Structure 1
Amino acid sequence: MKALNRYARAVAELLVLFALYALGTWLAQALGWPIPGGVVGLALLLLVFALNGLKPAHLQLGAGLLMAEMLLFFIPALMSLLDYGALVRQQGLRILLVIAISTVVVMLVTAFTVDAVFRWRMRRDT
């Protein structure tokens, strides 16, 4: 029975995450935004968290399942490298440099955003 409850909870959490993704995709298309629907969905999720509509712990199981299987989402991209071997040999260093710089930029922006939200919440709660 406990395993069934855990399974039902995981499915419910995944449905919530998918609904936010679908809503984000719909909004991006309906409003003509040049932003991927997944990014809009993540912004909606952040808004729901910020408005205390949902606590991150309520989606922990579903998000954990997606994170555990994340490699499956990247296999098609890795397999496409086989089709473009010559390009990778010619431009590989530049590609790695762009990947490294963009990774650092994403990490810095994420860190500053988390810090700003944390400081904002601390000021709001006091």
Structure 2
Amino acid sequence: MSDHTNTYPSLASAGHGLLVRFRYALHHSRLMQIAALCALWQVGEAVVRFAGLPIPGGIVGMALALALLLSGRVSLFSMKRGAEWFLAEMLLFFVPAVLAILEHRELIGLLGLKIMAVILLGTLTVMSVTALTVDLCYRWSMRHAGK
């Protein structure tokens, strides 16, 4: 009897090849990175709806992205260009909010000023806490990099 060697690639190696192609596309395609970030957002939305969490799905999606980055499953380069696009086009995402304000004239008076103050203080607080956290993490990583 002849030795029957499998000349076809196994399912595992085919899956590995698909994963390699996906990672290559993720590293080199801004559109794939944007799609991956949107997919993480949608997964976060699904988790929030399923678990009944009182937080936005985008926050859960960002936590998932952070977990993937910290675990090494996804490299920073795999999300960098997509995230840069979102940051560059951020103003585009505010257009619907501006149009909504124009439809509600009561927001242009004192009530609007109060809301604007809360938004500005909230944004300043978030930016300050984020900067402090990044600075502390950077200092910690520099201290532990030499060990």
TM-score normalized by the length of structure 2: 0.70
Aligned length: 120
Give the whole-Å Cα distance in 1 for the aligned partners of 2:107 and 2:44: 34
Give the whole-Å Cα distance in 2 for the aligned partners of 1:45 and 1:84: 36
Higher helix fraction: Structure 1 or Structure 2?
Answer: 1
Q: Does 1:92 align with 2:121?
A: no
Deviations 1:46-74 (A, max 9, x none): 11111122222222222222222222211
Query: Structure 1: any 5+ residue segments left out of the alignment?
Result: none
Give the whole-Å Cα distance in 2 for the aligned partners of 1:37 and 1:116: 27
**Matched AA of 1:24:** G
**Who is 2:9 aligned against?**
none
RMSD across aligned positions (CA):
2.1
TM-score normalized by the length of structure 1: 0.80
Q: Which has the larger radius of gyration?
A: 2
Query: Structure 2: any 5+ residue segments left out of the alignment?
Result: 1-24
Please, which of 33, 48, 54 is the counterpart of residue 68 of structure 2?
48
Give the whole-Å Cα distance in 2 for the aligned partners of 1:38 and 1:114: 20
Give the whole-Å Cα distance in 1 for the aligned partners of 2:137 and 2:55: 22
**Who is 1:67 aligned against?**
87
